[in-house]
Amino acid sequence: MSRLPADDIYAGTPRQRRKTSRNARVVKTPRPLLRMPPPIKRLQRQAPMLAIQGLSELSGRLRDLTGHEVIDMARVVELMQFVYRQQQLARRGADYAVDDFGFDAEWTESFLPLFKILYRDYWRIETAGIEHVPAAGRALLVANHAGVLPWDGTMIKTAVFAEHPNPRHVRALVASLFMGMPVLSWFLRRTGQTVGHPDDTRRLLDRDQLVLVFPEGVRGTGKLYQDRYKLRRFGRGGFVSTAIRSGAPIVPISVVGSEELYPMIGDVAPLAKLFGLPYFPITPFWPWLGPLGIIPLPSKWRIQFHPPIHVEVHPPEAADDQNLVMGLADQVRDTIQQGVYDNLKLRRGVFV
Amino acid sequence: MDFVHADTRQSVIGKLVRQLRIDTVVHLAVVIDSPREDRATHETNVIGTMNVLAGCAGPSSPVNRLIVKSSQAVYGARPEYPSLIVEDSAGFGRAESSVSRDLVELEQLTHDFALRNPGCRVARMRLGYRMTRETSLGRYLSLPLVPTFAGFDPRLQLLHEEDAAEAVARAALGAQEGAFNVAGDGIVVLSQAIAIMGARATPVLPPYGRWASRVAVRLATGVRIPVHMADLLAHGSVVDCSRLQTEFGWRPAYSTRAVLDAFALGQTEEPIESPSPPQEYELQVYLQRRRRERRDGRGSAALALSR
C-alpha cells in the first residue's frame, strides 16, 4: 500500500489538493444485529450505577422502617467487586504464574467474596482461637471431617484468610480419588489443594505453608447422620510423623455444624461402586430433588482453633517411634473430640 | 569423531566395544515419542537395551561408564501421584501405556546390570517432555484449536532440547550413579500453555474413554497422541529435579515457561535428518579400517552409535 508522505498532502493550494486527492474510503464499524435506540443504550451503560443507587436507597428506607440493617451495602459492593474481578481475571490470558502444585493465589482470592457470604450470612460461623494459627512459618492444621461434601475445608480456609490478622492461604490435602475427577481436579489444584501424600505434605511444610489435613478422610465425610459428632479413627497417625519430620506444630481444629449439611440417612454401596465414588449418599433431599439436593442446609457453625501441640520439640528420628506417634495422634484426636462436645454445648440449636 | 551405523537390535555392540576399547557408552536409542506403540518400539527399547547391556557386561568389557536414556514417561501420569515425583517412585502401580511399561523394564534391566557390574558406573537420565515441531506435544500445541479433555487442566513440565543434550553430556563426563530426573524449573498449566502458543483451548474431549479421544483427535486434526501422552493431558506430571541439582551441581537453563516461550517464538532448532537404515557390512568395513589404523598407530576415541 503506497501512501503520500504527510508533507505532500498539505502541499499546494486547496484547489490543487482537491485535484490530486482521491476519495477516502470510510471504514464503518460492523453494525450490530439488533440496534438499540439511544435511550436504552444509555440505560444499559448506567444500569450498574442505578442498581447500586436504588439498592442503597432501599437499604436506607428499610433501616429506618425496621430499625436494623436489612440490606448491607458493604456486601452488595463486595459482590459487584467480585463480578468485576472475574471479568478482569478472564482477560489476563496466559499472563499469570502458578506454583509447582498448580496453586493460583490471585484466582483463589477472587472467589473469597462468595465464600465469605457463605461464611458470614449462610452458616453464620463463629470462630474462636484464630490466634493459635501462627502468623508466619509452618503448621499442620488437623480438623474433624464431616458433611458429604468437604465444605468444612473451604470454611476453615475462609476463616484463616478472612479472620486472621495476617491473612494466609491454607493448603488442604485431598483424597487422590477426587484429584482424578473432571472439574474437581482442576478447581482443587487451582485453589491450592494437593494430593494427600506424605511427600506433598512435607514439601508444603518445608516451604513454610499452612497445611490442613483431615485424618478421618472419606470415612469422616461418609458417616451416617446417626453417627454424627463421633470422630472416626485417625488413620495410622501418618500426619504426626510428617509433622515431627518437618518440625511443624499441630493445630487441632474442632468444627461443629458441618455434620448437619446433608443428613445422610443411607449409603448405596453398589451405586457408589458404579460411579467410582467412596459412598453414594441418600439424604431427605438427594437424589429425590435432583440438583436441588446438593444445596447444603443452613446449619449454625462453630469453628474452634485449639492451642498448638508442639510436636517439633521431638527430634526428627522420633517420627519412627510408633508408640510416641500413636500417642500424639490420640492426643490430637481427643482434643478435637472434646472441642466438638464443648462447642455443641455452646450452640443453642442446629439452625440458630 | 567417528560415526558408525549399527542396529542395537543386533548383538554387535560387544564386538565394537571390546575391539575399540570404548570406556564410555551413551545409550540414546530409546524411542519414547513413538506415533504408534507396536512391537518395533518394544524391540528397540527393551531388546535393544538388553543388547547394549550385554555388550557392555562381563569382566572383559572396557566400559566403565554407561548412560541410558529414559524419560519422565516412566512414571506415567496418575492422579494419586505426589505433586512432584521423586526418582524412587518409578514402577509403582500398574503402568497403563506400553511405553511406560517398556521404560520400567528397561530401567530394571539397567539397574540389574549396575548391580552385577560394579566396575561400571551407570546413570539413567529421565529426560522431561520436549516441545519441538517433531514431538507429539509440540504438534498438539501447535494446533489452532487445541482439543482438551473437558474438566481437566493438568500441570505440564517441559525440557528444552539443549538442556536435554547438556544433561546427557554432563552425565557422560561425570561419575554420578542412579536415576536422575531432568526437567525445566516451574510448571505451566495446559490452558496457559495453549494461551502462550496463541491458540484456543476447546474442551471437547470426554473426560473418560481415552482411546476414543485419541482416535477422534487423530481423525480431526491428524495429530497422533501416544497413550502415555493422553494420560499426561488429563492428569499432568511434574518431577522433582533436586537430585540432579545436588549431584551434578547443574540445573536446566530453560524453565518450563522459557521452553514454551522459545517454541512459541519459533526459536527451536532445525530438526536433524534421521539416518538411513543401518547396514551390517558398513560396520564390518569400519571395524576393518580401525584395525588397520590401529596397526599403523592411529585412532580416535569418540564414537557415536545410532539406530
What does the pLDDT read at residue B108? 92
pLDDT tens, position by position, A64-109: 998 888 888 888 888 888 988 998 898 888 888 899 999 999 999 9
A105-260+296-346 is classed CATH 3.40.50.2000: no
What does the pLDDT read at residue A323? 93
- How many Cβ contacts (< 8 angstroms) between chains A and B? 76
What does the pLDDT read at residue A154? 95
What does the pLDDT read at residue A94? 84
Parse chain B into domains and list their residue ranges. Answer: 2-306
Residue in chain A lying closest to B195 (CA):
A94
B2-306 is classed CATH 3.90.1150.10: no
What does the pLDDT read at residue A11? 64
**Cβ contacts (< 8 Å) between A101 and chain B: which residues?**
83
- Pick the more confident residue, B25 or A18: B25
**Cβ contacts (< 8 Å) between B193 and chain A: which residues?**
94
Using CB atoms, pick whichever of B83, B150, B195 lies closest to residue A100: B83
pLDDT at B136 over 80: yes
C-alpha distance from A136 to closest chain B C-alpha (Å): 24
Cβ distance of A185 and B235 shorter than 8 Å: yes
Cβ distance of B192 and A180 shorter than 8 Å: no
C-alpha distance from A172 to closest chain B C-alpha (Å): 13
Phi, then psi, of B178 in degrees rounded to 5? 105, -165
The tally of CA atoms less than 13 A away on the side-chain side of residue B170 is 18
**Cβ contacts (< 8 Å) between B151 and chain A: which residues?**
181-186
What does the pLDDT read at residue A125? 95
Cβ distance of B195 and A93 shorter than 8 Å: yes
C-alpha distance from B159 to closest chain A C-alpha (Å): 15
Q: pLDDT tier at B182 (50, 70, 90 boundaries)?
A: very high
Lowest mean pLDDT among A126-130, A281-285, B22-26, B97-101: B97-101
Using CB atoms, pick whichever of A101, A195, A203 lies closest to residue B80: A195
Interchain CB contact of B306 with A (< 8 Å) = no
Cβ distance of B187 and A94 shorter than 8 Å: no
Cβ distance of A203 and B83 shorter than 8 Å: yes
Q: Which grid cell is B27?
A: 545409550
Q: Locate cell 502468623: which residue?
A: A135
Parse chain A into domains and list their residue ranges. Answer: 56-95, 105-260+296-346, 262-295
Cβ distance of A199 and B152 shorter than 8 Å: no
Q: In the beta sheet, which residues pair with residue A126?
A: A302
State the average pLDDT for chain B.
Answer: 86
> What's the CA gap between A329 and A237, in Å, rounded?
5
- Pick the more confident residue, B42 or B95: B42
Going residue by residue through chain A (352 aa), what tens digit of pLDDT does each one get? 444 445 555 667 777 776 666 655 555 666 667 778 888 888 888 888 888 899 999 999 999 998 888 888 888 888 888 988 998 898 888 888 899 999 999 999 999 989 999 999 899 999 999 999 999 999 999 999 998 889 999 999 999 999 999 999 999 999 888 888 889 998 999 999 999 999 999 999 999 999 999 999 888 888 999 999 999 988 888 999 999 999 999 999 999 999 999 999 999 999 999 888 889 999 999 889 988 989 999 999 999 999 999 999 999 999 999 999 999 999 999 999 999 999 999 999 898 8
What does the pLDDT read at residue B106? 92
pLDDT tens, position by position, B243-287: 999 999 999 999 999 999 989 887 545 555 555 655 666 777 777
Using CB atoms, pick whichever of B78, B152, B192 lies closest to residue A94: B192
